[in-house]
């Protein structure tokens, strides 16, 4: 079965509050900064704002659902999404309540992107969740959240979560609840997206990997007997714009290494092979000898992403939001 990908291309930005790489001392985000950022993104024609999620991280990180609740007041047009929310760290009951509430506070402009994470084991330790259970917990949580969003007394019985005849009102504003998009690159994550999700969020993949991921998702959707419902796609693109290709790459490598507490120099060598520097278009549309300084992102500039929704070939249907 071929996925019926949603049509169109949408551009977004990932992150609102973020401590700059050169900032020192206590980080104190300001309401005015958030309002200015959201209004600016709206005025410049972006379609969406996406936010990542960490309970414990290498740098200061605010809760995405709370930020969306505040940001939605500053724009009546932008769509807000989590890219991605680490659902296995939480119990699905309170999450169902918070996301249903958020769907109303955004007036139905909310996409619930979820994933397992796992790169930072301390997050699982502090939440009391065994890391090896994160995949199964995510699957059950998606099912349980959807049941609780129904607006009727809900029951669910799984290995990790069980409840009987639980009423939860109000139901979300969007019929059936906010779209749930799944992240991940490994086969179990892709199969989960095919069985349960309304969309797929990709991250650190090549075009060929993206195409193969959609093929695997489509096979899982067909095996689960899912029909021809529209399926959203998105890609998180790290980008850095600077005076030269080399400077952009150097600063991006340093910033990402700090942000993720890992050495991105090895990843940098790999990305060089993915995007040769000698075939980038110039502003006039002609080919130049060097890239114009756009590369994997730094935290000094917001992440932008594009999500494209299209019936074209899977390799070209991707919604981007640079970071």
Q: What is the mean pLDDT of residues 100-110?
A: 98
Q: Is the dihedral of CA 89, 91, 94, 97 positive or negative?
A: positive
CATH of domain 4-239+297-322: 3.20.20.30
The secondary structure of residue 300, as a DSSP letter, is T
The whole-number average pLDDT for the span 4-25 is 84
Q: What is the predicted pLDDT for the residue at 127? A: 96
Is the per-residue pLDDT at 228 higher than 90? no
Residues of the chain with CATH 3.20.20.30: 4-239+297-322
pLDDT in tens, 60-96: 889 999 999 999 999 999 999 999 999 999 999 999 9
For 235-276, the pLDDT digits (tens) are 988 888 889 888 888 888 888 777 776 777 665 555 554 444
Tokens of 130: 């065994």
pTM for this one? Answer: 0.83
Element (H or E) spanning 230, and its range? Answer: strand 230-237
Give the model's pLDDT for residue 36: 96
Residue 306 phi, psi dihedral angles, 5° rounding: -125, 135
Q: Which of 220-224, 308-312, 319-323 has the highest mean predicted lDDT (pLDDT)?
A: 220-224
CA atoms of 203 and 40, how far apart (whole Å): 25
Percent of the chain having pLDDT more than 70?
A: 80
pLDDT higher than threshold 50 for residue 285:
no
Specify the pLDDT at position 307.
Answer: 56
Section 271-282 average pLDDT: 42
Mean per-residue pLDDT over the chain, rounded: 83
Q: Mean pLDDT across the stretch 194-214?
A: 93
Distances, alpha carbon 63 to alpha carbons 17, 172, 303, in Å = 10, 20, 17
Strand partners, 287: 281
More confident residue, 237 or 180: 180
State percent of the chain over pLDDT 90: 60
The CA distance from 116 to 131, in Å, is 9
pLDDT band at 3 (very low <50, low <70, confident <90, very high): confident
Query: 1 pLDDT band (50/70/90 cuts)?
Result: low
């Amino acid at each position: 079965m071929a996925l019926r990908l949603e049509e169109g291309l949408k551009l977004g930005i990932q992150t609102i509050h973020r401590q700059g790489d050169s900032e020192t001392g206590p980080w104190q985000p300001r309401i005015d900064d958030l309002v200015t950022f959201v209004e600016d993104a709206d005025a410049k024609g972006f379609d969406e704002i996406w936010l990542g999620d960490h309970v414990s991280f290498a740098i200061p990180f605010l809760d995405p659902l709370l930020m969306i609740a505040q940001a939605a007041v500053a724009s009546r047009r932008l769509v807000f999404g989590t890219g991605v929310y680490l659902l296995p760290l939480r119990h699905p009951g309170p999450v169902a309540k918070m996301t249903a509430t958020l769907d109303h506070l955004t007036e139905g402009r909310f996409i619930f992107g979820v994933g397992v994470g796992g790169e930072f084991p301390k997050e699982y330790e502090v939440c009391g969740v065994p890391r090896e259970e994160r995949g199964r917990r995510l699957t059950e949580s998606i099912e349980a959240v959807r049941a609780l969003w129904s607006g009727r007394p809900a029951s669910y019985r799984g290995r990790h979560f069980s409840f009987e005849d639980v009423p939860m009102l109000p139901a979300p504003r969007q019929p059936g609840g906010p779209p749930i998009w799944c992240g991940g690159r490994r086969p179990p994550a892709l199969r989960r997206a095919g069985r349960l999700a309304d969309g797929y969020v990709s991250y650190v993949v090549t075009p060929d990997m993206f195409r193969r991921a959609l093929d695997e998702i489509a096979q899982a959707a067909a095996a689960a007997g899912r029909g021809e419902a529209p399926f959203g796609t998105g890609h998180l693109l790290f980008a850095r714009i600077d005076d030269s290709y080399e400077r952009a790459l150097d600063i991006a490598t340093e910033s990402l290494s700090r942000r993720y507490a890992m050495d991105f120099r090895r990843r940098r060598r790999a990305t060089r092979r993915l995007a040769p520097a000698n075939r980038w278009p110039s502003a006039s549309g002609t080919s130049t000898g060097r890239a114009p300084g756009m590369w994997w992102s730094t935290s000094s500039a917001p992440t932008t992403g594009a999500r494209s929704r299209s019936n074209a070939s899977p390799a070209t249907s991707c919604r981007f939001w640079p970071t």
